[in-house]
Structure 1
Amino acid sequence: MIRPFLPALAMAFSFALPAQALDLSQMSDAERDSFRAEIRAYLLENPQVIMEAVAVLEKRQEEEQAQSDLDLIKVNADSLFYDGHSWVGGNPEGDITLVEFMDYRCGYCRRAFDEVNELLKTDGNIRFIVKEFPILGKESVVASRFAIATQQVAGAEAYKSVHDALMTFNGTINDTSLGRLADTLGLDANKITAHMDSDEVSAVIAANHALGQRLSISGTPSFVMQDRMLRGYLPLDAMQQIAEEIRTQ
């Protein structure tokens, strides 16, 4: 961890050396040994400097990452917020839009499911968009295809029922279990399953994966809340705090 900060320390110590030694590449072996000894002694006497430098570096990296994420969100705003194929819930007229990239086989997505619902319920002013983002194997893809096919065949309300059921489903996801699920929800299982492998369904998954790649999203859940990228699971109180910060910025 020390190496990135040695140039700065070197600059500080160089002022204590003779003028002719300021060019570090021109130091004699003795001067270089002395210089290294000074740095070592300084760090041993002031070890907190290392942690201070680490903190400064981490803050700078966070700021750079936040700016990079902001730029990515701006460039991809239409695909994020108005793609025309993603399910939209919460308050469609909300002052904040929350987008979730999710996978039905993702444990943290399941953990976030109740907390996102609670956020939407208690806040009441958040527009919520679901991006089907299957990345965890065959069952993930099958589940997403079924959910998307449901939306395209039976509409947004049916999609919400299927989405909620799949987020809490604990069995194996296959044609048989999905057929039973559709029957339980009063949906036309044959019509939905016949549409699962259609080009229209494939196009949605491909578009979401391409968007995720452009946003450097590699895991689920990943969220975009208005102009902020939130990578990974966040508890309810953290999401509420971010929403408050966005409204007051």
Structure 2
Amino acid sequence: MKSTLSALALAVSLAAPAAALDLEAMTDTERALFRQEVRAYLLDNPEVLMEAIGVLEQREAAQQADADRQLAASYREALVNDGHSWVGGNPDGDVTMVEFMDYRCGYCRRAAPEVDELVAADGNIRLIIKEFPILGEGSMLSSQFAIAALQLHGDDVYKDVHDALLALRGDATEESLAQLADVMGLDADEIFERMGSDEVARIIAENRALAQQLQISGTPTFVLDDQMLRGYLPLAQMAQMVDAVRAEDS
């Protein structure tokens, strides 16, 4: 409703001469006639309102992009060098992609193979995964399991666990995670003990605090250097964004 009213105001400014916009200088009768004329004009020319809505959306998108750039720059160190997140792809890549993800998020699952394909095909992207469980107990258990696996067994095992959790059917429970640990040759008791540690809790809390500071409330959310992508984007468009980031940096 707010955006529609803003677009209507913009449409009036597009449709009416500048002198007619000084409503305070009009008499009540002139103001009523002016409003009638504007309404009639918009009813006869609805494309003006659609044009105004398009212009407003472009302005809002540009303002959001600028705000996102400022946020990404302000929290750059926490994004790319927190000391606890998994780092994959090319550690020396010229573009860093940070993903905030949740294992129960359908769009995260959809994006995962495309992100892997992009990173592999490009060869010069540094990928950082931020565990960001926001969709309930199953999400929390999965992130705790993944972080514990990373701490106990390192990067390669984490990536295998990460992929397996994204492919897991049904909700993650202690029973299903114990079965997953067994299938992967991991000590479930050891992992469960680490899952409940203060260190794992601290990492998740830090990721959530960082997401709040960046105004991230959904998954997946990607940060490409100083650009933020809120939501799923197909592989081809994501590759275009990487190219755009490189062009800006060159």
Task: State the TM-score, normalizing by the size of structure 2.
Answer: 0.90
How large is the Cα RMSD of the aligned pairs? Answer: 2.0
Percent identity over paired residues: 55
How many angstroms apart in 2 are the aligned matches of 1:3 and 1:175? 51
- Name the structure 2 match of 1:3: 5
1:138-177 alignment runs, 5 A limit: 138-177=137-176
Matched, 1:15 2:14: no
How many angstroms apart in 2 are the aligned matches of 1:246 and 1:36? 46
Letter in 2 for 1:89: G
- Name the structure 2 match of 1:201: 200
1:58-69 alignment runs, 5 A limit: 58-69=57-68
SS across alignment from 1:15: helix
Asked if structure 2 preserves the Cα contact closer than 8 Å seen for 1:13 and 1:38, the reply is: no
Structure 2 gap segments, 5+ residues each: none
Q: Structure 1 pair 133/14, CA: closer, same or farther in 2 (3 Å)?
A: closer
Shift of residue 32 of structure 1? 2.0
Structure 1 gap segments, 5+ residues each: 17-21
SS across alignment from 2:98: strand
How many angstroms apart in 2 are the aligned matches of 1:106 and 1:154? 25
1:106-121 alignment runs, 5 A limit: 106-121=105-120
Q: Which deviates more from structure 2 when the two are superposed, residues 142-151 or residues 166-175?
A: 166-175
1:128-139 alignment runs, 5 A limit: 128-139=127-138
Q: Which deviates more from structure 2 when the two are superposed, residues 200-209 or residues 216-225?
A: 216-225
1:1-249 alignment runs, 5 A limit: 3-4=5-6, 5-6=8-9, 9=12, 12-13=16-17, 15=19, 24-249=23-248
Shift of residue 237 of structure 1? 0.8
Shift of residue 2 of structure 1? 5.6
How many angstroms apart in 1 are the aligned matches of 2:182 and 2:149? 12
Shift of residue 53 of structure 1? 1.6
Pick the structure with greater CA Rg. 1
Asked if structure 1 preserves the Cα contact closer than 8 Å seen for 2:11 and 2:48, the reply is: no
Give every structure 1 segment of 4 or more consecutive aligned residues whose post-TM-superposition deviation is greater than 4 Å.
Answer: none
Shift of residue 29 of structure 1? 2.9
How many angstroms apart in 2 are the aligned matches of 1:90 and 1:184? 26
How many angstroms apart in 1 are the aligned matches of 2:146 and 2:22? 66
Asked if structure 1 preserves the Cα contact closer than 8 Å seen for 2:102 and 2:139, the reply is: yes
How many angstroms apart in 2 are the aligned matches of 1:77 and 1:34? 55
Deviations 1:64-96 (A, max 9, x none): 000000000001111111100000001111111
Shift of residue 7 of structure 1? 6.9
Q: Which deviates more from structure 2 when the two are superposed, residues 140-149 or residues 45-54?
A: 45-54
Asked if structure 1 preserves the Cα contact closer than 8 Å seen for 2:145 and 2:192, the reply is: yes
Deviations 1:151-198 (A, max 9, x none): 111212221111111111114422222222122222222211111110
Asked if structure 2 preserves the Cα contact closer than 8 Å seen for 1:13 and 1:35, the reply is: no
How many angstroms apart in 2 are the aligned matches of 1:23 and 1:246? 44
How many angstroms apart in 2 are the aligned matches of 1:64 and 1:145? 36
- Name the structure 2 match of 1:19: none
Shift of residue 23 of structure 1? 5.1
How many angstroms apart in 1 are the aligned matches of 2:236 and 2:202? 35
Q: Structure 1 pair 43/104, CA: closer, same or farther in 2 (3 Å)?
A: same
SS across alignment from 1:94: coil
